[in-house]
């Protein structure tokens, strides 16, 4: 090994030791260098050591109800369990906290879950039906605004009862074709930790279903005020779950530390088997710096490497201790237009902006061909996806004709399009936001702004720190933004992102898309159990979104990854998250850290 590489690695080993020592995790750390042959291992999985994986940003929080970003979801699913879990390989729902799949009434309105009697939280307290009832009362509390994105999936829950400690009966106001998925997927929280005063005992599901009744019962708002406190999102004493890992520490901008649950309950599922003694998320806001950290072994795994870095900076023949990987995830990238802004009210303007997005060129330049163009909001590998939608291919002539029809022209000869809106002349000028550290989005923004300027449109590129970016979106204080959504690989329900009700109160319909027919189709889809009929509903819905153009749809990317070869059993799946970190392990002769 070249001396300069060895020196860098020695320096990094000292850094890793410092990280763990700071976390009060590592009692010893001895690392040795390995030949390429030593990375081969054919033995069984073993426990021990630490996996360091890259986080591009801090999570919003670790409470699964009040944190909606992908980082939070990846972490809190290691901490909290649900009644049912989706098998990453088969995609089938299987019982988890529940001992069996629920009994479902013929009218699809009553679900009876029977719980395992040996499930405990990490503090040793048994998880019972009371915790399940509490969890539903918490997520349905209308005053917990941060939970609105998740709450919409439980709008039609009419009642949750616990006739005994091991039985939960959930009654729906009306059928929902995905009820089994979402009732089963709610992460169960500990009542004894998060409701010490019994506030949720003082209100019913019926009361939180009615704004008038909720307003009359002070306990509803009192619990929401307590549950929404910042410390309940990030302090270990409040984030106690029954999952395979326990939250130990969060140092903002540095790391999030999870340690293996010392009191695990005996789950039958392979994906809950925890081999690493600790999993540490290392926060590095810049992907180039993150790749450097991978090379110097400060991190073991990076998800979502920019294509240019993947192609040019990862020579695994020289860096033999690293391995590349890639997979397609059910995610799409898009540009969202805030339809509340006067300049974006007219759909012809939004269509024109889509025609000015040279996405085929961007696919080749920005993402090096590692992407597939898409034209709608449904995962392209789902049968509901309408592949017949005509694409908004790059067409400046068509774009300028649409803008002219909508009244946009250069009236004063300054090279900028203008229009008369609400009685006053305004320039076609807006800000395009994205999160700092995401080079792909930054490159899209720069290229797009440059292209738009040729046609008299001024686009200001606005790079924001992640938490500021999220706050801007949820408060609707933006013009346009570059984002991405992950669609779970289950039958489609566009309600969260596209229903009019989700355009307010920090819902996920950030762009303010409101369409009466689309709402009707979304609502009918939710209560339709015939797959062929749902297909028709979703195809019509996609045509409406395509015509209204609230998003400029770009592509589904191939996710490019790399990891240290000391990690074994690395696999990727089409679920979210697409990897099962607890199942990864480090062979005995490659382990370096002892965790207490």
Per-residue pLDDT tens for 165-216? 999 999 999 999 999 999 999 999 999 999 999 999 999 999 999 999 999 9
Q: How confident is the model at residue 21 (pLDDT cuts 50, 70, 90)?
A: very low
User: Nearest Cα to 301, choosing from 563, 23, 593?
Assistant: 563
| pLDDT band for position 11 (cuts 50, 70, 90) | very low
pLDDT of 19 above 60 = no
Q: What is the pLDDT of residue 253?
A: 95
Q: What whole-number percentage of the chain has pLDDT above 90?
A: 83
Residue 582, sorted as left (phi over 0), alpha (psi -120 to 50) or beta, turns out to be: alpha
- Burial-class residue 115 by CB neighbours within 10 Å (0-12, 13-18, 19+): buried
Q: What is the DSSP string of 64-91?
A: TTT--SHHHHHHHHHH--BSEEE-TTT-
Average pLDDT over the chain, rounded to an integer: 92
Query: Is pLDDT of 303 > 60?
Result: yes
Beta strand spans in 244-342 (E)? 245-251, 255-260, 278-283, 301-302, 322-328, 331-337
For residue 1, pLDDT over 60 is answered with no
Round to whole Å and give the CA distance between 214 and 493: 27
Residue 118 has pLDDT above 70, yes or no: yes
Two tokens at 80? 């909290």
Q: CB atoms < 10 A from the CB of 12, how many? A: 18
Confidence tier at 328 by pLDDT (50, 70, 90):
confident
341-357 pLDDT, tens per residue? 999 999 999 999 999 99
Confidence category of residue 577, pLDDT binned at 50, 70, 90: confident
Q: Enter the pTM of the model.
A: 0.78
**Between 11 and 38, whose confidence is greater?**
38
- Token digits of residue 442: 């930054």
Question: What is residue 23's predicted lDDT score, i.e. its pLDDT?
Answer: 44
In the 8-state DSSP scheme, what is residue 464?
E
Sign, Cα dihedral of 323, 328, 330, 332: positive
- In this structure, what token pair is assigned to residue 303? 């998800």
Residue among 127, 150, 443, 83 nearest 264 (CA)? 127
| pLDDT mean over 413-431 | 96
State yes or no: pLDDT of 509 exceeds 80: yes
Residue from 233, 266, 228 nearest 250 by CA: 233
Does the pLDDT of residue 445 top 80, yes or no?
Answer: yes
Tell me if 183 sits within 8 A of 109, measured CB to CB.
Answer: no
Distance CA 361, CA 378 (A): 23
Banded model confidence at residue 265, pLDDT cuts 50, 70, 90: very high
Mean pLDDT of 245-258: 97
Place of tokens 């009994």: 103
Tell me the C-alpha distance between 250 and 255, whole Å. Answer: 6
Identify the helix (H) or strand (E) that includes residue 253: none
Return the H-helix or E-strand segment holding 490. Answer: none
Phi-psi region of 265 (alpha: psi -120 to 50; beta: other; left: phi over 0): beta
- Say what the pLDDT of residue 91 is: 87
Predicted local distance difference test score (pLDDT) of residue 36: 87
Q: Average the pLDDT over 107-120 and give the result.
A: 97
pLDDT over 60 (residue 16): no
Q: What band does 506 get if pLDDT is binned at 50, 70 and 90?
A: confident
Tokens of 217: 């019962």
Task: Tell me how crowded residue 518 is: count the other CB atoms within 10 A of its CB.
Answer: 21
Q: What is the pLDDT of residue 596?
A: 66
Section 546-559 average pLDDT:
96
Q: What is the pLDDT of residues 22-44, one digit of tens each?
A: 444 543 444 556 888 889 999 99
- The CA-based diameter of the chain, rounded to the nearest angstrom, is 76
Question: Which of 248-270 are b and which e, b meaning 16 or more Cβ less than 10 Å from the residue's Cβ?
Answer: bbbeeebbbbbbbbeebbebeee
- Give 215's contacts (C-beta < 8 A, 6+ positions apart): none
pLDDT digits (tens, 9 = 90+) for 49-66: 999 999 999 999 999 999
Q: Which pLDDT score is estimated for 359?
A: 96
Mean pLDDT, residues 390-408: 98
Q: Estimate the crossing angle of helix 531-548 against helix 347-355, to 10 degrees.
A: 90
φ, ψ dihedrals at 295, nearest 5°: -65, -35
Work out the average pLDDT over 411-437: 96
569 φψ region: left (φ > 0), alpha (ψ -120 to 50), beta (else): left
Rounded CA-CA distance 358/335 in Å is 12
Top-confidence residue, 594 or 577: 577
pLDDT confidence tier of residue 317, bands split at 50, 70 and 90: very high
With contact defined as beta carbons under 8 Å apart, do 488 and 573 qualify? no
Instruction: Please tell me the predicted confidence (pLDDT) of residue 486.
Output: 83
* Secondary structure letter of residue 127 according to DSSP: P
* Residue 264 dihedral angles phi and psi, to the nearest 5°: -70, 145
CA distance 323 to 564: 6
3-state secondary structure of 280: strand
Quote the tokens at residue 470: 């999220």
Please give the pLDDT value at position 32. 59
∠ Cα 457 353 366 (to 5°)? 95
pLDDT in tens, 127-149: 999 999 999 999 999 999 999 88
Q: What whole-number distance in Å separates Cα of residue 440 and Cα of residue 431?
A: 17
361 pLDDT more than 50: yes
Spatial separation of the C-alpha atoms in residues 327 and 270, rounded to whole Å: 22
Residue 454 in 3-state DSSP? Answer: coil
């Amino acid at each position: 090994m070249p001396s300069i590489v060895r020196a860098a690695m020695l320096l990094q080993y000292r850094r890793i030791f410092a990280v763990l020592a700071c976390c009060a995790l590592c009692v010893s750390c001895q690392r040795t260098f390995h030949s390429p042959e030593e990375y081969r291992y054919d033995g069984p999985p073993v426990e021990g050591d630490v996996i360091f994986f890259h986080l591009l940003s801090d999570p919003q929080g670790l409470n699964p109800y009040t944190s909606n970003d992908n980082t939070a979801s990846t972490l809190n699913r290691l901490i909290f369990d649900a009644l049912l879990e989706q098998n990453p390989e088969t995609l089938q729902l299987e019982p988890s906290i529940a001992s069996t799949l629920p009994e479902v009434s013929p009218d699809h309105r009553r679900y009876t879950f029977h719980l395992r009697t040996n499930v405990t939280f990490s503090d040793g307290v048994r998880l019972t039906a009371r915790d399940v009832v509490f969890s539903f009362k918490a997520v349905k509390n209308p005053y917990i605004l941060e939970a609105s994105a998740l709450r919409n999936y439980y709008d039609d829950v009419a009642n949750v009862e616990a006739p005994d400690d091991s039985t939960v009966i959930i009654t729906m106001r009306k059928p929902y074709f995905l009820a089994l998925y979402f009732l089963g997927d709610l992460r169960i929280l500990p009542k004894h930790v998060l409701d010490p005063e019994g506030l949720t005992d003082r209100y019913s599901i019926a009361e939180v279903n009615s704004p008038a009744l909720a307003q009359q019962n002070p306990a509803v708002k009192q619990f929401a005020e307590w549950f929404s406190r910042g410390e309940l999102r990030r302090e270990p004493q409040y984030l106690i779950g029954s999952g395979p890992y326990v939250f130990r520490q969060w140092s903002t901008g540095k790391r999030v530390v999870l340690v293996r649950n010392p009191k695990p309950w005996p789950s039958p599922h392979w994906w809950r088997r925890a081999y690493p003694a600790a999993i540490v998320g290392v926060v590095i806001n810049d992907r180039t710096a993150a790749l450097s950290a991978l090379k110097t072994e400060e991190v073991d795994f990076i998800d979502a490497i920019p294509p240019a870095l993947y192609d040019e900076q990862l020579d695994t023949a020289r860096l033999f201790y690293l391995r590349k990987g890639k997979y397609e995830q059910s995610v799409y990238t898009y540009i969202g237009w805030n339809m509340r802004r006067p300049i974006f009210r007219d759909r012809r303007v939004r269509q024109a902006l889509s025609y000015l997005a040279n996405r085929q060129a961007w696919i080749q330049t920005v993402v090096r061909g590692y992407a597939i163009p898409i034209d709608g909001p449904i995962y392209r590998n789902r049968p509901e996806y309408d592949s017949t939608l005509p694409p908004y291919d790059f067409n400046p002539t068509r774009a300028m004709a649409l803008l002219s029809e909508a009244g946009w022209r250069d009236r004063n000869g300054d090279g900028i399009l203008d229009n008369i809106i609400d009685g006053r002349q305004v320039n076609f000028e807006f800000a395009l936001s994205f999160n700092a550290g995401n080079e792909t989005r930054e490159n899209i923004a720069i290229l797009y702004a440059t292209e738009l300027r040729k046609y008299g449109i001024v686009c200001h590129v606005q790079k924001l720190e992640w938490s500021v970016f999220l706050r801007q979106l949820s408060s609707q204080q933006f013009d346009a933004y570059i984002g991405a959504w992950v669609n779970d690989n289950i039958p489609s329900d566009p309600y969260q992102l596209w229903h009019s009700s989700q355009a307010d109160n920090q819902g996920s319909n950030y762009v303010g898309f409101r369409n009466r027919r689309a709402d009707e189709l979304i609502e009918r889809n939710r209560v339709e159990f015939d797959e062929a009929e749902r297909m028709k509903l979703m195809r019509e819905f996609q045509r409406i979104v395509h015509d209204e153009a609230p998003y400029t749809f770009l592509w589904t990317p191939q996710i490019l990854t790399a990891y240290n070869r000391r990690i074994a059993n690395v696999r990727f799946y089409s679920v979210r998250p697409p990897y099962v970190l607890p199942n990864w392990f480090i062979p005995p002769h490659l382990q370096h850290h002892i965790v207490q």
